[in-house]
Protein backbone atom coordinates (compact mmCIF):
# COMPACT_ATOMS: atom_id res chain seq x y z
CA UNK A 1 0.00 0.00 0.00
CA UNK A 2 1.31 3.47 -0.86
CA UNK A 3 2.32 5.74 2.01
CA UNK A 4 -0.28 8.37 1.02
CA UNK A 5 -3.03 5.75 1.07
CA UNK A 6 -1.96 4.64 4.53
CA UNK A 7 -2.12 8.21 5.82
CA UNK A 8 -5.55 8.67 4.25
CA UNK A 9 -6.89 5.51 5.90
CA UNK A 10 -5.50 6.69 9.23
CA UNK A 11 -7.18 10.08 8.82
CA UNK A 12 -10.48 8.46 7.86
CA UNK A 13 -10.27 6.16 10.88
CA UNK A 14 -9.81 9.15 13.17
CA UNK A 15 -13.16 10.50 11.95
CA UNK A 16 -14.92 7.38 13.25
CA UNK A 17 -16.16 7.81 16.84
CA UNK A 18 -14.11 5.88 19.37
CA UNK A 19 -17.14 3.83 20.46
CA UNK A 20 -17.66 2.66 16.87
CA UNK A 21 -14.09 1.32 16.68
CA UNK A 22 -14.42 -0.74 19.84
CA UNK A 23 -15.14 -4.44 19.80
CA UNK A 24 -18.75 -5.09 20.63
CA UNK A 25 -19.90 -7.30 23.47
CA UNK A 26 -23.53 -8.34 23.87
CA UNK A 27 -25.00 -8.36 27.37
CA UNK A 28 -28.29 -10.21 27.96
CA UNK A 29 -29.79 -9.65 31.41
CA UNK A 30 -33.24 -10.24 32.80
CA UNK A 31 -35.15 -11.66 35.74
CA UNK A 32 -35.17 -15.35 36.51
CA UNK A 33 -37.31 -17.45 34.12
CA UNK A 34 -37.29 -14.79 31.40
CA UNK A 35 -35.65 -17.00 28.75
CA UNK A 36 -32.12 -15.57 28.75
CA UNK A 37 -30.47 -18.94 28.11
CA UNK A 38 -32.64 -19.77 25.09
CA UNK A 39 -32.13 -16.32 23.53
CA UNK A 40 -28.37 -16.34 24.11
CA UNK A 41 -28.03 -19.73 22.40
CA UNK A 42 -29.90 -18.45 19.35
CA UNK A 43 -27.72 -15.34 19.21
CA UNK A 44 -24.52 -17.34 19.59
CA UNK A 45 -25.50 -19.67 16.77
CA UNK A 46 -26.27 -16.73 14.48
CA UNK A 47 -23.05 -14.74 14.96
CA UNK A 48 -20.40 -17.15 16.18
CA UNK A 49 -20.79 -16.22 19.82
CA UNK A 50 -19.40 -17.70 23.01
CA UNK A 51 -21.39 -17.33 26.23
CA UNK A 52 -19.99 -16.01 29.51
CA UNK A 53 -22.17 -16.76 32.53
CA UNK A 54 -22.70 -13.86 34.94
CA UNK A 55 -24.13 -15.99 37.72
CA UNK A 56 -22.62 -16.25 41.19
CA UNK A 57 -23.56 -19.94 41.65
CA UNK A 58 -23.20 -21.48 38.19
CA UNK A 59 -19.45 -21.41 38.84
CA UNK A 60 -19.90 -24.28 41.34
CA UNK A 61 -19.76 -27.88 40.21
CA UNK A 62 -22.89 -29.80 41.10
CA UNK A 63 -25.18 -26.77 41.40
CA UNK A 64 -27.00 -27.59 38.20
CA UNK A 65 -30.78 -27.78 38.50
CA UNK A 66 -31.24 -24.98 41.00
CA UNK A 67 -29.09 -22.53 39.02
CA UNK A 68 -30.74 -23.43 35.69
CA UNK A 69 -27.41 -24.13 34.01
CA UNK A 70 -27.44 -24.64 30.27
CA UNK A 71 -27.65 -28.35 29.51
CA UNK A 72 -24.60 -30.41 28.62
CA UNK A 73 -25.93 -30.63 25.05
CA UNK A 74 -26.22 -26.85 24.79
CA UNK A 75 -22.72 -26.39 26.19
CA UNK A 76 -21.43 -28.86 23.62
CA UNK A 77 -23.13 -26.92 20.84
CA UNK A 78 -22.02 -23.45 22.05
CA UNK A 79 -18.89 -22.76 24.11
CA UNK A 80 -19.77 -21.56 27.62
CA UNK A 81 -17.45 -19.93 30.16
CA UNK A 82 -17.40 -19.44 33.96
CA UNK A 83 -19.52 -22.53 34.55
CA UNK A 84 -18.27 -25.41 36.73
CA UNK A 85 -14.95 -23.75 37.56
CA UNK A 86 -15.08 -24.06 41.38
CA UNK A 87 -15.66 -26.67 44.05
CA UNK A 88 -17.90 -25.79 46.99
CA UNK A 89 -14.80 -25.62 49.19
CA UNK A 90 -13.63 -22.60 47.16
CA UNK A 91 -14.89 -19.04 47.32
CA UNK A 92 -15.85 -16.94 44.33
CA UNK A 93 -16.67 -13.25 44.55
CA UNK A 94 -17.39 -10.28 42.34
CA UNK A 95 -13.72 -9.27 42.07
CA UNK A 96 -12.80 -12.76 40.85
CA UNK A 97 -15.71 -12.67 38.41
CA UNK A 98 -14.52 -9.34 37.02
CA UNK A 99 -10.99 -10.61 36.45
CA UNK A 100 -12.12 -13.91 34.91
CA UNK A 101 -14.73 -12.27 32.68
CA UNK A 102 -12.26 -9.67 31.38
CA UNK A 103 -9.71 -12.36 30.51
CA UNK A 104 -12.39 -14.49 28.83
CA UNK A 105 -13.68 -11.60 26.72
CA UNK A 106 -10.15 -10.97 25.42
CA UNK A 107 -9.68 -14.64 24.54
CA UNK A 108 -13.00 -14.82 22.69
CA UNK A 109 -12.23 -11.70 20.66
CA UNK A 110 -8.78 -13.05 19.78
CA UNK A 111 -10.60 -16.05 18.29
CA UNK A 112 -12.66 -13.56 16.26
CA UNK A 113 -15.81 -14.66 18.02
CA UNK A 114 -18.41 -12.58 19.84
CA UNK A 115 -18.60 -12.51 23.66
CA UNK A 116 -22.17 -12.76 24.98
CA UNK A 117 -22.58 -12.04 28.69
CA UNK A 118 -25.67 -13.74 30.12
CA UNK A 119 -27.07 -13.54 33.62
CA UNK A 120 -29.37 -12.04 36.16
CA UNK A 121 -26.81 -10.94 38.74
CA UNK A 122 -26.95 -7.17 38.58
CA UNK A 123 -24.04 -6.91 41.01
CA UNK A 124 -21.75 -8.96 38.75
CA UNK A 125 -22.82 -7.27 35.53
CA UNK A 126 -22.45 -3.80 37.04
CA UNK A 127 -18.91 -4.71 38.11
CA UNK A 128 -18.06 -5.85 34.58
CA UNK A 129 -19.26 -2.56 33.10
CA UNK A 130 -18.04 -0.14 35.75
CA UNK A 131 -15.27 -2.00 37.56
CA UNK A 132 -15.29 -4.06 40.78
CA UNK A 133 -16.45 -2.39 44.00
CA UNK A 134 -13.90 -0.47 46.00
CA UNK A 135 -12.86 -1.46 49.49
CA UNK A 136 -9.87 -2.87 51.36
CA UNK A 137 -8.60 -6.37 50.58
CA UNK A 138 -9.81 -9.19 52.78
CA UNK A 139 -7.93 -10.05 55.97
CA UNK A 140 -8.10 -13.80 56.77
CA UNK A 141 -8.03 -13.39 60.56
CA UNK A 142 -10.96 -10.95 60.57
CA UNK A 143 -12.90 -13.01 58.03
CA UNK A 144 -12.41 -16.17 60.13
CA UNK A 145 -13.60 -14.37 63.25
CA UNK A 146 -16.75 -13.17 61.48
CA UNK A 147 -17.35 -16.64 60.04
CA UNK A 148 -17.24 -18.06 63.57
CA UNK A 149 -19.66 -15.42 64.81
CA UNK A 150 -21.99 -16.17 61.90
CA UNK A 151 -21.92 -19.86 62.84
CA UNK A 152 -22.37 -19.28 66.58
CA UNK A 153 -24.80 -16.36 66.59
CA UNK A 154 -26.65 -16.73 63.30
CA UNK A 155 -27.19 -14.50 60.29
CA UNK A 156 -29.94 -12.46 61.97
CA UNK A 157 -27.63 -11.17 64.72
CA UNK A 158 -24.89 -10.12 62.28
CA UNK A 159 -27.42 -8.48 59.98
CA UNK A 160 -28.80 -6.48 62.91
CA UNK A 161 -25.23 -5.40 63.72
CA UNK A 162 -24.78 -4.25 60.12
CA UNK A 163 -28.08 -2.35 60.29
CA UNK A 164 -26.74 -0.42 63.28
CA UNK A 165 -23.32 0.26 61.77
CA UNK A 166 -24.34 0.94 58.16
CA UNK A 167 -28.13 1.17 57.73
CA UNK A 168 -27.85 2.57 54.20
CA UNK A 169 -25.93 -0.43 52.87
CA UNK A 170 -27.92 -2.95 54.93
CA UNK A 171 -31.11 -1.74 53.25
CA UNK A 172 -29.71 -2.71 49.82
CA UNK A 173 -29.04 -6.40 50.57
CA UNK A 174 -31.01 -9.41 51.75
CA UNK A 175 -30.94 -10.21 55.45
CA UNK A 176 -30.05 -13.78 54.44
CA UNK A 177 -27.03 -12.89 52.27
CA UNK A 178 -24.31 -14.20 54.57
CA UNK A 179 -21.46 -13.42 52.18
CA UNK A 180 -22.34 -9.72 51.75
CA UNK A 181 -23.08 -9.27 55.45
CA UNK A 182 -19.72 -10.71 56.45
CA UNK A 183 -17.87 -8.72 53.78
CA UNK A 184 -19.56 -5.49 54.88
CA UNK A 185 -18.66 -6.08 58.53
CA UNK A 186 -15.11 -6.98 57.46
CA UNK A 187 -14.75 -3.71 55.53
CA UNK A 188 -15.99 -1.75 58.56
CA UNK A 189 -13.56 -3.56 60.87
CA UNK A 190 -10.56 -3.06 58.56
CA UNK A 191 -11.14 0.51 57.38
CA UNK A 192 -13.30 1.99 60.16
CA UNK A 193 -15.51 3.22 57.31
CA UNK A 194 -19.01 2.17 56.26
CA UNK A 195 -19.52 0.36 52.96
CA UNK A 196 -21.86 3.17 51.94
CA UNK A 197 -18.95 5.62 52.40
CA UNK A 198 -17.10 4.05 49.47
CA UNK A 199 -18.16 5.58 46.14
CA UNK A 200 -20.02 3.33 43.72
CA UNK A 201 -18.63 3.44 40.20
CA UNK A 202 -21.05 5.22 37.88
CA UNK A 203 -18.82 5.75 34.86
CA UNK A 204 -17.90 3.08 32.36
CA UNK A 205 -14.36 1.86 32.64
CA UNK A 206 -12.08 2.83 29.80
CA UNK A 207 -11.81 -0.43 27.92
CA UNK A 208 -11.80 -1.64 24.36
CA UNK A 209 -15.41 -2.81 24.33
CA UNK A 210 -18.74 -1.37 23.33
CA UNK A 211 -21.27 -3.13 25.54
CA UNK A 212 -24.64 -3.60 23.81
CA UNK A 213 -26.83 -4.25 26.81
CA UNK A 214 -30.38 -5.61 26.92
CA UNK A 215 -32.83 -6.42 29.66
CA UNK A 216 -35.48 -8.90 28.54
CA UNK A 217 -38.58 -9.46 30.62
CA UNK A 218 -42.19 -10.58 30.82
CA UNK A 219 -44.83 -8.44 32.53
CA UNK A 220 -44.91 -9.17 36.25
CA UNK A 221 -48.01 -11.41 36.35
CA UNK A 222 -46.85 -13.55 33.44
CA UNK A 223 -43.33 -13.75 34.84
CA UNK A 224 -44.50 -14.92 38.24
CA UNK A 225 -46.51 -17.68 36.60
CA UNK A 226 -43.41 -18.79 34.68
CA UNK A 227 -41.33 -18.71 37.86
CA UNK A 228 -43.75 -20.97 39.71
CA UNK A 229 -43.85 -23.43 36.81
CA UNK A 230 -40.06 -23.48 36.67
CA UNK A 231 -39.79 -24.14 40.40
CA UNK A 232 -42.17 -27.10 40.00
CA UNK A 233 -40.14 -28.34 37.05
CA UNK A 234 -36.88 -28.12 39.00
CA UNK A 235 -38.38 -30.22 41.79
CA UNK A 236 -39.55 -32.82 39.26
CA UNK A 237 -36.03 -32.92 37.78
CA UNK A 238 -34.63 -33.92 41.17
CA UNK A 239 -33.61 -30.62 42.74
CA UNK A 240 -34.00 -31.91 46.30
CA UNK A 241 -31.80 -34.91 45.52
CA UNK A 242 -29.23 -32.52 44.06
CA UNK A 243 -29.17 -30.48 47.28
CA UNK A 244 -28.94 -33.64 49.40
CA UNK A 245 -25.78 -34.68 47.51
CA UNK A 246 -24.34 -31.16 47.64
CA UNK A 247 -24.91 -31.12 51.39
CA UNK A 248 -22.58 -34.11 51.64
CA UNK A 249 -19.98 -32.16 49.66
CA UNK A 250 -19.97 -29.14 51.96
CA UNK A 251 -22.74 -26.89 50.66
CA UNK A 252 -23.49 -25.53 54.13
CA UNK A 253 -19.88 -24.45 54.61
CA UNK A 254 -20.06 -22.19 51.55
CA UNK A 255 -21.71 -19.05 52.92
CA UNK A 256 -22.65 -17.78 49.46
CA UNK A 257 -23.84 -20.96 47.72
CA UNK A 258 -25.83 -22.19 50.73
CA UNK A 259 -27.89 -18.99 50.71
CA UNK A 260 -28.74 -19.10 47.01
CA UNK A 261 -32.42 -19.06 46.04
CA UNK A 262 -33.84 -22.57 46.36
CA UNK A 263 -30.77 -24.03 48.03
CA UNK A 264 -31.39 -22.24 51.32
CA UNK A 265 -35.02 -23.42 51.34
CA UNK A 266 -34.02 -26.96 50.36
CA UNK A 267 -31.48 -27.17 53.19
CA UNK A 268 -34.21 -26.14 55.62
CA UNK A 269 -36.39 -28.94 54.21
CA UNK A 270 -33.55 -31.43 54.72
CA UNK A 271 -33.45 -30.40 58.38
CA UNK A 272 -37.20 -30.95 58.77
CA UNK A 273 -39.03 -34.26 59.37
CA UNK A 274 -39.67 -34.16 55.58
CA UNK A 275 -43.40 -34.76 55.84
CA UNK A 276 -45.79 -33.85 53.06
CA UNK A 277 -46.54 -30.65 54.96
CA UNK A 278 -42.81 -29.83 55.11
CA UNK A 279 -42.59 -30.39 51.36
CA UNK A 280 -45.51 -28.01 50.78
CA UNK A 281 -43.81 -25.39 52.97
CA UNK A 282 -40.58 -25.79 50.98
CA UNK A 283 -42.41 -25.36 47.66
CA UNK A 284 -44.18 -22.24 48.89
CA UNK A 285 -40.99 -20.68 50.24
CA UNK A 286 -39.00 -21.60 47.14
CA UNK A 287 -41.52 -19.90 44.86
CA UNK A 288 -41.86 -16.87 47.13
CA UNK A 289 -38.08 -16.35 47.32
CA UNK A 290 -37.82 -16.70 43.52
CA UNK A 291 -40.53 -14.08 42.97
CA UNK A 292 -38.86 -11.73 45.45
CA UNK A 293 -35.53 -12.17 43.66
CA UNK A 294 -37.14 -11.31 40.32
CA UNK A 295 -38.58 -8.17 41.89
CA UNK A 296 -35.11 -7.15 43.10
CA UNK A 297 -33.73 -7.77 39.59
CA UNK A 298 -36.28 -5.37 38.11
CA UNK A 299 -35.37 -2.77 40.75
CA UNK A 300 -31.63 -3.13 40.14
CA UNK A 301 -31.70 -2.89 36.35
CA UNK A 302 -34.04 0.12 36.34
CA UNK A 303 -31.01 1.99 37.71
CA UNK A 304 -28.69 0.75 34.95
CA UNK A 305 -28.74 3.36 32.16
CA UNK A 306 -26.95 1.25 29.54
CA UNK A 307 -29.73 -1.33 29.31
CA UNK A 308 -32.53 -1.23 26.80
CA UNK A 309 -35.63 -3.12 27.86
CA UNK A 310 -37.51 -5.58 25.66
CA UNK A 311 -40.92 -6.92 26.65
CA UNK A 312 -40.82 -10.48 25.36
CA UNK A 313 -44.59 -10.59 24.95
CA UNK A 314 -44.33 -7.92 22.25
CA UNK A 315 -41.93 -9.89 20.03
CA UNK A 316 -41.75 -13.44 18.79
CA UNK A 317 -38.40 -15.14 19.52
CA UNK A 318 -37.06 -14.68 15.99
CA UNK A 319 -37.87 -10.97 15.95
CA UNK A 320 -36.26 -10.54 19.37
CA UNK A 321 -33.07 -12.10 18.06
CA UNK A 322 -33.15 -9.94 14.92
CA UNK A 323 -33.48 -6.70 16.90
CA UNK A 324 -30.38 -7.47 18.95
CA UNK A 325 -28.40 -8.60 15.92
CA UNK A 326 -29.34 -5.52 13.92
CA UNK A 327 -28.12 -3.31 16.74
CA UNK A 328 -24.91 -5.32 17.00
CA UNK A 329 -24.11 -5.08 13.31
CA UNK A 330 -25.28 -1.56 12.47
CA UNK A 331 -21.95 0.21 13.04
CA UNK A 332 -19.68 -2.36 11.44
206 and 104 share a domain?
A: yes
Same domain flag for 193 and 175: yes
Helix H or strand E segment including 301: helix 276-302
Looking at the domain assignment, is residue 169 inside a domain? yes
Same domain, 156 and 234: no
**DSSP bridge pairs for 60:** 86
The answer as to whether 5 is a domain residue is no
How far apart (Å, rounded) are the C-alpha atoms in residues 319 and 330?
A: 16
Residues 218 and 90 in one domain: yes
Look up the domain containing 184 and give its range: 140-197
Quote the pLDDT of residue 256. 83
Q: What percent of the chain has pLDDT over 90?
A: 69
126 and 160 together in one domain = no
Tell me if 8 is assigned to some domain.
no
**Is 228 among the domain residues?**
yes
Q: Is residue 3 part of a domain?
A: no
Tell me whether residue 106 is in a domain.
yes
Assess whether pLDDT exceeds 60 at residue 227: yes
CA distances in angstroms from 192 to 82, 195, 324, listed in the order given: 34, 10, 46
**Helix, strand, or coil (residue 177):** coil
Q: Provide the b/e sequence for 172-206 (b: ≥16 CB within 10 Å).
A: ebbebbbbbbbbbbbbbeeeeebbeeeeeeeeeee
Give the tens place of pLDDT for each residue, 192-211: 889 888 876 655 556 679 99
The reply to whether 167 falls in a domain is: yes
Identify the pLDDT of residue 134: 75
Total count of domains within the chain: 2
In a domain, 18, yes or no: no
My answer on whether 282 and 182 are in the same domain is no
**Residue 225 and residue 293 in one domain:** yes
Same domain (yes/no): 208, 246: yes
User: Would you state the pLDDT for residue 57?
Assistant: 95
Mean pLDDT (the chain, rounded): 89
Report pLDDT digits (tens) over 68-83.
Answer: 999 999 999 999 999 9
**For residue 2, is pLDDT > 80?**
no
In this structure, the answer to whether residues 56 and 106 fall within a common structural domain is yes
- Within this chain, do residues 121 and 150 fall inside the same structural domain, yes or no? no
Amino acid sequence: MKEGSSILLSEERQKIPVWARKKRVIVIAGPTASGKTHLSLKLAQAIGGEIISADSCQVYRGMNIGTAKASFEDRTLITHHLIDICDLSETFNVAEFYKAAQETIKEIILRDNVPIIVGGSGFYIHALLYGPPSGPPSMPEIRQQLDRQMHDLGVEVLYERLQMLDPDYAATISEFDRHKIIRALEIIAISDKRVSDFPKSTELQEQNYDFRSWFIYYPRERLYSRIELRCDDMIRQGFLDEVRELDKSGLRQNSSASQAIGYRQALAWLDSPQTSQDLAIFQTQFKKASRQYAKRQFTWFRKEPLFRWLNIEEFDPERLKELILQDFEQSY
